[in-house]
Amino acid sequence: MTTPVSPEPGRRALSMIGPDFPFPYDDYRLSPAGLGSVPASAFGTEVAVVGGGLAGIITAYELMRMGLRPVVYEPEQIGGRMRSAEFEGFPGTVAELGAMRFPLSSTTLHSYLAAMGLPTRPFANPLATDTPSTVIDLKGNPLYARNLDDLPPEFRLVAQAWGQALEDGANLGALTSALRARDPLRIKAIWNDLVRRLDDHTFYHFLADSPHFRSFADRELFGQVGFGTGGWDTDFPNSILEVLRIVATGADEDQHLVIGGCQQLPLRLWSHQPDALAGWPAGTSLQALHAGSPRPGVTALRRTHSGITVTDAAGAIRTYPAVVYAAPIWLLLNNIECDESLFSSALWTSIERTHYMGSSKVFVLVDRPFWRDQDPATGRDTMSITLTDRMSRGTYLFDDGPDRPAVICLSYTWADDSLKLLPLSATERMDLMLHSLGEIYPGVDIRSHIIASPITVSWEMERNFMGAFKANLPGHYRYQEQLFGHFMQDQMPDAHRGIFLAGDDISWTAAWAEGAVQSALNAVWGVQHHFGGVCDPDNLGPGDRFAEFAPIRLPDIL
């Protein structure tokens, strides 16, 4: 179900910029003035970038364009949670193990996709306009629908109740309108009030407290079907502010997939030879600067008299005047040996309090998109995008034409629903999901179409990730504010400067690649400033305009 955010003709398209820090990252990135410069004396200076996910690669790419020499450390694949896996024996097939749908409101991210020549197309979400059909199966009762109007009235009523709860409880229409107008004063007036009022509340409390969700049955139905992208009851324990950021910025609407897989974005940035490049000869790329591959994973980070000293898994020890840490921050607690003096004790607390959601996906490759065959008796598709309260929860269908192998994401789960799968092998997971779907589609033999071994992931089991993405709990706003603002280092004692945080955990919109991109641009600004660099006066950066847009600071922070 989509939220009732009414379009306002003539206004700028909604973007994932704000509401906490409504700096126009998309305009900044696209400005012909560029992101600014560092003094020529700094050209060629090495900066360590820990993590070759999207945030790390964008940081490295932009630092290279300024003339610095990024040194990327990555223990696995370039791309991190932008991971597009191929089925064994079937090159070119794509199972999006991490990110898979990118709202058009991810405007900064989409600007990088466009710059790298990567086309996108609408993602087939449940009940979305471009989705041929959806099946919603709750309590053993599968319902077939081409749009919301095909479902029984209670679904429409719950969708309306959600819209009203957002309007009455969170002033959503006014907030969205201020975000669309990019009016920081209006945004701040509304959002800061919501932060003060709602930081202590869960998503579930917000619903239960609303006169529009008095009925438990309505809350249950809403939790199963959710809005926009699928069931949201696994988010019920999270802070309502996390959910409001998504709906206010249109992140749950108009989502696209990247044709050929989203991992292409970090991979293309890695090999791209930018035209505009300071301090380096034409033809320079990250790949060329690294002789092909990043350095291995980091095992220790220490503060030494000449900078920050990085040890890697091959035993190499190098000291840098600046480091960008763009790997999941829990790894600083248990995977990477760290000096406590790297950060203030308040920042360590914020790192420790970070909360991750788990997530699992199970994919199979089939001979062709058989689900598009219509049952001559009913005129219905053989199979549809499926939301269910059974173990599979969300099933998504991907195809590139009628006679080619096609991909089914049999199951996409979060939090407790993902934990239920942890002990199971890929084959056991596939069998379980085929059993669930067999109950919903009794006449369809999905198994007979499968042509490759299943692929699965549980991000909470992955040593270099430890979770799928951050999701703040009630009372976590203060920690997030500390993490996000860490790139502003002028007021810090010297002993804490020189290491910059970036990535999903640092952003206001974790679980969305746009936030990782925005956090990378903050880190780039932080490093540039650290080396005495400046932005063009016509294109000031996030740090130059920090005071103007700064997230509200709540009281009682140590």
Ligand X SMILES: Cc1cc2nc3c(=O)[nH]c(=O)nc-3n(C[C@H](O)[C@H](O)[C@H](O)COP(=O)(O)OP(=O)(O)OC[C@H]3O[C@@H](n4cnc5c(N)ncnc54)[C@H](O)[C@@H]3O)c2cc1C
Positions in the binding site for ligand X (CB under 6 A): 50-56, 73-76, 80-82, 98-102, 106, 297-298, 326-328, 331, 335-336, 359, 459, 464-465, 468-469, 503-504, 511-513, 516
Look-up of token digits 């407790």:
416
Which positions ≥6 away from 43 have C-beta within 8 Å? 67, 68, 278, 279
Closest to 101 (Cα-Cα) out of 244, 316, 314, 257: 257
Q: Where are the beta strands (DSSP E) in 294-347?
A: 298-304, 307-312, 317-320, 323-325, 337-338
Q: Minimal distance in Å, beta carbon 468 to ligand X? A: 4
Of 51 and 526, nearer to ligand X (C-beta) is 51
Nearer to ligand X, 126 or 184 (CB): 126
Distance between CA atoms of residues 432 and 447, nearest Å: 12
Closest CA to 506 of 326, 332, 342, 353: 326
Whole-angstrom Cα Rg for the chain: 23
Widest Cα–Cα separation across the chain: 77
Q: Which is nearer to ligand X, 82 or 128 (CB)?
A: 82
Q: How far is 506 from 346, CA to CA, in rounded Å?
A: 15
Minimum Å distance from CB 359 to ligand X? 4
| Min dist. Cβ of residue 123 to ligand X (A) | 8
Whichever of 326 and 383 has its CB closer to ligand X, that residue is: 326
CB of 416 to ligand X, least distance (A): 15
Q: What is the C-alpha to C-alpha distance for residues 85 and 104, in angstroms, rounded to an integer? A: 24
Please name the amino acid found at residue 277.
Answer: L
Least distance (Å) from ligand X to the CB of residue 326?
5
The residue of the chain with the least Cβ separation from ligand X equals 53
CB of 412 to ligand X, least distance (A): 7
Q: Are strands 120-122 and 255-258 parallel, antiparallel or unpaired?
A: antiparallel
**C-beta of 55 vs 221, nearer to ligand X:** 55
Separation CA 445–CA 406 (nearest Å): 15
Nearer of residues 62 and 74 to ligand X, judged by Cβ? 74
CB of residue 511 vs ligand X: minimum separation in angstroms? 5
CB of 95 to ligand X, least distance (A): 12
Give the nearer residue to ligand X in terms of CB position, either 37 or 458. 458
Token pair 């607390």 in the structure block, residue:
349
Q: How far is the CB of 332 from ligand X (least distance, A)?
A: 9
- Closer to ligand X at the Cβ: 109 or 127? 109
Is the separation of the CB atoms in 58 and 521 below 8 Å? yes
CA neighbor of 46 nearest in space, from 58, 65, 64: 64
Q: Which is nearer to ligand X, 175 or 415 (CB)?
A: 415
Under a CB-based contact definition with an 8 Å cutoff, are residues 224 and 389 in contact?
yes
- Using an 8 Å Cβ cutoff, are 235 and 242 in contact? yes
Amino acid code (one letter) for 282: A
